Amino acid sequence: MDKAIHDTANLKAEISGGIHKSRVHDSAHKHVAGTAEYIDDMPEPAGLLHAGVGLSDRPHAKILAMDLSKVEAAPGVVCVLTGKDVPGVNDISSGGHHDEPLFADTVVEYHGQLIFAVIAETRHQARAAAKLAEITYEDLPFWTSVRDALAHNAPDVITPLKLQRGDAGAALQTAKNRITAEMEIGGQEHFYLEGQIALAIPGEDDEVAVWSSTQHPSEIQHIVGQVLDIPSNAVTVYQRRMGGGFGGKETQGNGFAAVAALAAKKLKRAVKFRPDRDEDMIMTGKRHDFVAFYDIGYDDDGVIEAVDATFAARCGFSADLSGPVTDRTLFHADSSYYYPNVHLVTRPLKTHTCSNTAYRGFGGPQGMLAGERFIEEIAYALGKDPLDIRKANFYGPNGSGRDVTPYHQTVEDNIILRVVEELEESADYRARRQAIIDFNRTSPIIKKGIALTPVKFGISFTMTAFNQAGALVHVYQDGSVQLNHGGTEMGQGLYIKVAQVVADVFQIDLERVKITATTTGKVPNTSATAASSGSDLNGMAAYNAAKEIKDRLIAFAASHYQVAADDIEFLPNRVRIGSKEIPFPDLVKAAYFGRIQLSAAGFYKTPKIHWDRAAGKGRPFYYFAYGAACTEVSIDTLTGEYIFERTDILHDVGRSLNPTIDIGQIEGGFIQGMGWLTTEELWWNDKGHLRTHAPSTYKIPLASDRPKIFNVRLTDFSENREPTIGRSKAVGEPPFMLAISALEAISMAVASVADYRVCPRLDAPATPERVLMAVERMRQV
């Protein structure tokens, strides 16, 4: 890798591009002006048809009869599609599990499962007609919660994972102190601003073009091809931007794109499929909720000696991504702590609910939350500050003997103690905690709490094959550059970061780099934009492509101008060749006339990583990202309501590619995590119906819910020890778990009611109702 990608020399101040600079999101002005084009904003093709959905109203039942005659006869209806209309395979499952039909045929397995689709002249006509179906069912037993699944001895949707090191059983038997308990950890709806949507336009022969709001265009390509029984080369998927994804558009867009493409090819007309928000929330998967059962042993200083824990998850009716999600839960059940003896297992349980899926953190937050609960339990049992227990259990430096995870990866880059201690000082944690304790002694109704919690999050797809990316870079004769790569833009700023990388290589203004829509027609076989790896993978792939072109330009200039290659230097918007300088476009034009290829396809694969799931051993992560948050909260013990007074965050992103974008991601991740742990509650009734399926019943955080004081800083000392792009670190998912500090601050406020003698054991989400019930429990202590 050349010096330019790691160096922030003064020369770079002369160009508007380059890495390690705060640059505005490339679509920010369009977001503000309302001109950013999403799929539903695109000019509609002539003859466009619309899809509506016929959904199951039973959680588990046989389909005995289905009369769709009234649907077909409804105004505007062109056709009705069922599983019998699928020319290929009636399956949209991710990972080849073959357990998720596009259209339910003989059995439905959750309320809201797709049975048929209506294609009509207008969206209103399609949705109205879908309600006219007459379906006869035979009800079957069902369960919708983790506890009900356990009671019914429900099967696992995928083989469970086990991680172990040492002898947890023996260590628990000999531990001086031991706690056995459990914790409920709620799920979460993605609630992106732009819902699921797909637009398909048929082409000649077997071709079809699909615009899909997806984080994984290559999977949409594969699924559409599978359903239509056509090769992938006949399916071209386009994605310019999403109005939010958060993991909900990694696999959940498959069915919407498949229905649109199936109808488009059958009818030879363009078809758009945009479900209503209620339909979207009922049909699609969410964050997995868990019940964690744990047994921990520790000494009188609070040092953990053994952990034995089982994580039982509500996975839904099919596997989807439940395997890797629940695996990552175990990978992060250690949080930032060393467990000398550990035994961890998953129970990925089948339930009669929508199939749960990827969500920011991908199971990691649930595991980390449990790990922090272990610390909280010990702290209250010993009457100590939880921060002191945290410090006593942190992973040690590399080579300390306390640096190996439960999955046998050595933590080589541990900076968590430094991050925590810097935040502890800058947030004035100790003095504020004592002031809060003093306040709580004299305040009978309002109670306060404060917590400082760490984050250690592994970066990479745990499926090793997904850790690869491609990019395509063109340099045109006028010196302008076009960039395309396999990553998708969902508002997180990936496009601008990768463009900065390319501008850095050529030392040209960022405005000279054109970012084009992600498409399977330019960069094939892409991985999903997920696992926080978008910048790591696509940035390196783009660097690889740009560097290849740059090397060709250097070789051409050396030959054409008769100078040594090392006497050629790319300066801001110009190139020094020996003793003279020429504008970058002039060199490019000369190279064109010299018949030098000015286009390159780049590629990158993450080194060092490997994982043996059966053995529970390997190096699934390339590196770790770290952070810490300190949150203060006030609760009303008469109502359970709470206000977040202040949050201080110090987060590690290595050498940031774009500090402004990264801080935005940290702020957004924290607030989204705060919503998961406080206000966002999923609830199914006794008929298996999801009742929290609209903004009226499902409460995401508002702007007014943010902490009154919100301080966010990036570490100024960290640099990724691995040769990532610009020595940066991922920032998409790790900040989400900073919000654990919010839950623990509420917990401390509740604990004050019983003079901090017992752990409140707050389940998540800690809604005001749960907080009030916890306060009442504390009154009985």
DSSP letter, residue 424: H
β-bridge pairing 235-239 and 271-273: unpaired
Tens digit of each residue's pLDDT (9 = 90 or more) over 233-284: 999 999 999 999 999 999 999 999 999 999 999 999 999 999 999 999 999 9
SS3 for 432? helix
Q: Contact, 459 vs 591, CB < 8 A?
A: no
pLDDT at residue 3 tops 60:
no
Closest CA relative to residue 237, chosen from 255, 262, 219, 263? 219
Tens digit of each residue's pLDDT (9 = 90 or more) over 600-611: 999 999 999 999
DSSP-assigned letters across all residues of 304-341:
EEEEEEEEEEEEESS-TTHHHHHHHHHHTTTTTB--SS
Closest CA relative to residue 193, chosen from 712, 677, 672, 690? 672
Closest CA relative to residue 216, chosen from 258, 260, 254? 254
At 337, is the pLDDT very low, low, confident or very high (cuts 50, 70, 90)?
very high
Q: Contact, 258 vs 102, CB < 8 A?
A: yes
HSE-up (13 A, CA, CB side) for residue 779: 10
* Residue given tokens 């039942």 in the structure block: 61
pLDDT at residue 11 tops 80:
no
Query: What's the rounded mean pLDDT across residues 425-433?
Result: 98
Burial of 673 (0-12, 13-18, 19+ CB in 10 A): buried
The DSSP bridge partners found for residue 586 are: none
Tens digit of each residue's pLDDT (9 = 90 or more) over 670-691: 999 999 999 999 999 999 999 9
Alpha carbon distance, N-terminus to C-terminus of the chain:
62
At 17, is the pLDDT very low, low, confident or very high (cuts 50, 70, 90)?
confident
Query: What is the model's pLDDT at position 2?
Result: 47
Sheet holding 61-67, edge to edge: 107-108, 61-67, 134-139
Query: What is the model's pLDDT at position 579?
Result: 95
- Mean pLDDT score of the chain: 97
Phi, psi (rounded to 5 degrees) for 118: -105, 130
pLDDT at residue 14 tops 80:
no
Query: What is the model's pLDDT at position 15?
Result: 83
pLDDT at residue 8 tops 50:
no
Burial of 679 (0-12, 13-18, 19+ CB in 10 A): middle
Query: What is the model's pLDDT at position 486?
Result: 97
Q: Contact, 739 vs 676, CB < 8 A?
A: yes
Cα(223)–Cα(436) distance, integer angstroms: 55
Q: Contact, 647 vs 711, CB < 8 A?
A: yes
At 77, is the pLDDT very low, low, confident or very high (cuts 50, 70, 90)?
very high
Query: What is the model's pLDDT at position 1?
Result: 46
Q: Contact, 178 vs 295, CB < 8 A?
A: yes
Cβ partners under 8 Å of residue 538, min gap 6:
469, 471, 485, 486, 487, 494, 498
Catalytic residue numbers read 733
pLDDT at residue 494 tops 70:
yes
* Residue given tokens 């306390």 in the structure block: 402
Tens digit of each residue's pLDDT (9 = 90 or more) over 24-54: 999 999 999 999 999 999 999 999 999 999 9
Q: Contact, 295 vs 180, CB < 8 A?
A: yes
Maximum separation of any 2 CA atoms in the chain, in Å? 88
Query: Where does 618-739 have alpha helices with state H?
Result: 659-677
Q: Contact, 238 vs 211, CB < 8 A?
A: yes
